Amino acid sequence: MISLKGVVKSFGATRILNGIDLEVPTGQRIALIGSNGAGKTTLFRCLLGEYTHEGAVLVGGRDPRRDRTDVLRLVGFVPQVAPRLEMPVAALMRYVADVTGGRVEDIEAIAARMGLDVAPIRGRAFVKLSGGMKQKLLIALALGRPTRLLILDEPAANLDPAARAVLFDLLAERSEVTMIISSHRIDEIAALVNRVIELEHGRIILDDTVTDAGALGSTFVVRLTTARDEPSFARAAREWGLEETGEGAWAGSVAGPDRLRFLGFVARHAGLVRGFSLDEDTASQGGERRALASSP
Amino acid sequence: MRAPDTVSAAAPSGSSFWTGFVATFRLEVAEAFRARWFAFYALVFFGLVGLLLVFGLTESRVLGFTGLSRTLVTYIQLTMAILPVFILITTVRSLAGDREAGVFEYVLGLPVGIGAWYAGRFLGRYLLASAPVIAALLAAVIYGVIRGVRVPWLELGFDIGLLLVMIFAFVGLGFLISALTRSVDTAQTLAFIIWLVLVLGLDLVLLGALIRGRLAIEGVVAIAMLNPLQVFRTGSMLLFDPQLVLLGPTAFTVFDIFGRTGFMVWSFLYPLVLGLLTAGAGWAIFRRGDLP
């Protein structure tokens, strides 16, 4: 479904994507994680054909830059930050339905499932909606039309727990749709995805399948060093069962099924983390230890 | 319900250039009707006409113009003074503002062709910029007809045409500036500088350069001929004031070189071509670069 080969994107002297190679088969669901500035949104914009870049990007075998309408017909997109659209809600829904070949009724139905009654806000400018309402409507606009690829940039941001649960149900229902979901809270989407990709400084530093055989019942040994003492980090680390073994050094173990949530915890403190390793503890299972992630 | 789930895997039907173009045009217009800039813009021109009607449709004679002719001449000269900067600033604010506000990222992530989107926005913006100006002018004419004032139909038609091509030129310039810049501040500054340069290129200012002898007459004429403001100013007065007694020296020179018909053709064609070229250049720059 998606093929990226040697994708490089720079803004002036700053290189945001630094040679991304990635193949995503149809139907795969990817959690794209990484700290701010890692290149997630830039990668999305390359997939949407919005950025020029070096290397090759193909979606469904087509170049989204050259064949943008053909490619984007397949794509539903939820941006990280809601655009400040001045247009009325009704005009926005009609526009999206017109250009995508969808139906306003379908968009409204998804919005209703998300807990957003569109009727009273039809005439209101999109920009005047609350953060949660905007997010629900953007999700409805992406899911309420025919798609084969969903690109969701922090889709659960601004959503209350009930709406988040509905969103995950809606995504889970779309079993044949390829998805790339960016989230800082990987624990929330862990159940939805079958692959995790972590970006750092424009490079893929982790590419792991979630449903590998060793995940269930396995244990991972964690070693982590931080640049400085941070009480909130220390509190959270202890909740994960880690113990401080030296100045800024932490160690412990994490259950296999919990490792994505744990990676999310680490990603949220990426600015603090100086070194990190997560190795499968196969000693107790008679096998060799397999490194999942490690960085100096 | 799971309505769209079943279509998720289906091959979606396509949207043509026209679908994207019409949808974008409609959206641009719908959005403008809610925008403060458009309300203010329309208010300015209708207010202008209202004031001119109050003070213009009298028996007074100013520099040979009376009644509706006087109103039209004044309206057109005032329009020339405020319309270009209005169009430039509102156009670049709208486009560059949309870029900053994440609108480009979202809307251009939908399956609408860049050409359809650009053309739809251009036409929408052109219509929005033209409608209040022309509507206010027509309101003055209707008022004049009701009051039994003689309407200078030929001059009126010609000047409406000139207004339309001048607006076209400045909307094109606005789109080019928006394509060249990435922020509202830069776009507005550039738009203002361009407008200022054009104002400085009016023949009343060029007169000073001529008198001081720092510019060759050919240079002055070339500037006057390439300055859309000056072309409009000269063109709009051609029928009302064939001797061009109200205009500056470059207008005289231009009139001598081209003749009346030649300049009338130039005053229509040049802004049209300028608008097409600048809008086209903006389109070429926009589609080649990063969209958001």
Q: Are residues A73 and A200 located together in one domain of the fold?
A: yes
Q: Are residues A162 and A281 located together in one domain of the fold?
A: no
Q: Are residues A226 and A141 located together in one domain of the fold?
A: no
Q: What per-residue confidence (pLDDT) applies to A46? A: 94
B274-288 burial: b if 16+ Cβ within 10 Å, else e: bbeebbebbbeebee
Q: Are residues A76 and A120 located together in one domain of the fold?
A: yes
Mean pLDDT, residues B40-48 taken together: 88
How many CA atoms are closer than 13 Å to the CA of A173, on its beta-carbon side?
18
> For testing the chain A interface, which of B98, B106, B183 should be mutated: the one with the most A CBs within 10 Å?
B106
Measured from the Cβ of residue A278, the count of other Cβ atoms closer than 10 Å reads 21
Q: What per-residue confidence (pLDDT) applies to A295? A: 38
Chain B contact set for A110 (CB, 8 A): 3-4
Helices (H), chain A: 40-47, 68-72, 89-100, 104-113, 131-143, 161-173, 186-189, 231-239, 259-268
Do A10 and A20 meet the contact criterion of CB atoms below 8 Å apart? no
User: Kind of pairing, strands A219-226 and A195-200?
Assistant: unpaired
Do B128 and B86 meet the contact criterion of CB atoms below 8 Å apart? no
Percent of chain B with pLDDT over 70: 82
Closest Cα in chain B, distance from residue A195 (Å): 21
Q: Give which of A101, A51, A113 is closest to A76, Cα–Cα.
A: A101
Does A257 map to a domain? yes
Q: Does B285 touch chain A (CB under 8 A)?
A: no
| pLDDT tens per residue across span B221-252 | 788 788 898 888 888 877 766 665 556 666 66
Q: Output the CA torsion A175→A149→A97→B109 (10° steps).
A: 160
Mean pLDDT, residues A248-268 taken together: 81
Answer whether A174 sits within 8 Å of B5, measured CB to CB: yes
Mean pLDDT, residues B77-91 taken together: 88
Q: Are residues A247 and A130 located together in one domain of the fold?
A: no
Give the residue, B236 or A52, on which the prediction is more confident: A52
Answer whether B8 sits within 8 Å of A77, measured CB to CB: no
Chain B contact set for A81 (CB, 8 A): 102
Q: What per-residue confidence (pLDDT) applies to A57? A: 95
ipTM of the prediction: 0.78
- The tokens of B88 are what? 């430039």
Q: What per-residue confidence (pLDDT) applies to B257? A: 76
Q: Are residues A234 and A143 located together in one domain of the fold?
A: no
Lowest mean pLDDT among A114-118, B11-15, B87-91, B209-213: B11-15
- Final residue of a domain: which of A209, A242, A277? A209
Distance of CA A136 to the CA centre of its chain: 17
pLDDT band at B166 (very low <50, low <70, confident <90, very high): very high
Mean pLDDT, residues A88-102 taken together: 92
Q: Are residues A9 and A150 located together in one domain of the fold?
A: yes
Q: Which of A116-120, A210-214, B29-33, B75-79 has the highest mean pLDDT?
A: A116-120
Average pLDDT, chain A: 85
CB pairs under 8 A between A and B: 142
What values do phi and psi take at A226, rounded to 5?
-115, 155
Does A150 map to a domain? yes
Q: Are residues A165 and A271 located together in one domain of the fold?
A: no
Distance of CA B288 to the CA centre of its chain: 26
pLDDT band at A17 (very low <50, low <70, confident <90, very high): very high
Does A214 map to a domain? no
Residue A257 has pLDDT above 70, yes or no: no
| pLDDT tens per residue across span A130-167 | 999 999 999 999 999 889 999 999 888 778 777 877 88
Q: Are residues A23 and A123 located together in one domain of the fold?
A: yes
Does A249 map to a domain? yes
Q: Are residues A180 and A243 located together in one domain of the fold?
A: no
How many CA atoms are closer than 13 Å to the CA of A244, on its beta-carbon side?
14
| pLDDT tens per residue across span A112-140 | 999 999 999 999 999 999 999 999 999 99
Measure Cα distances from A92 to A70, A271, B93, B101 in Å: 21, 38, 21, 16
- Final residue of a domain: which of A148, A175, A209? A209
Counted residue by residue, chain B has a size of: 292
Helices (H), B147-181: 153-180
Q: Are residues A17 and A98 located together in one domain of the fold?
A: yes
Written in H, E and C, the secondary structure of B200-263 is HCCHHHHHHHHHCCCCCHHHHHHHHHHCHHHHHHHHHHHCCCCCCCCCCHHHHHHHHHHHHHHH
The domain tally of chain A equals 2
pTM: 0.78
Answer whether A68 sits within 8 Å of B111, measured CB to CB: yes
Q: Are residues A275 and A185 located together in one domain of the fold?
A: no
Closest Cα in chain B, distance from residue A22 (Å): 21
B34: left (phi over 0), alpha (psi -120 to 50) or beta: alpha
- Final residue of a domain: which of A150, A178, A209? A209
Nearest-Cα residue of chain A relative to residue B20: A99
pLDDT band at A249 (very low <50, low <70, confident <90, very high): very high
Mean pLDDT, residues A14-19 taken together: 92
Domain span at residue A258 reads 219-295
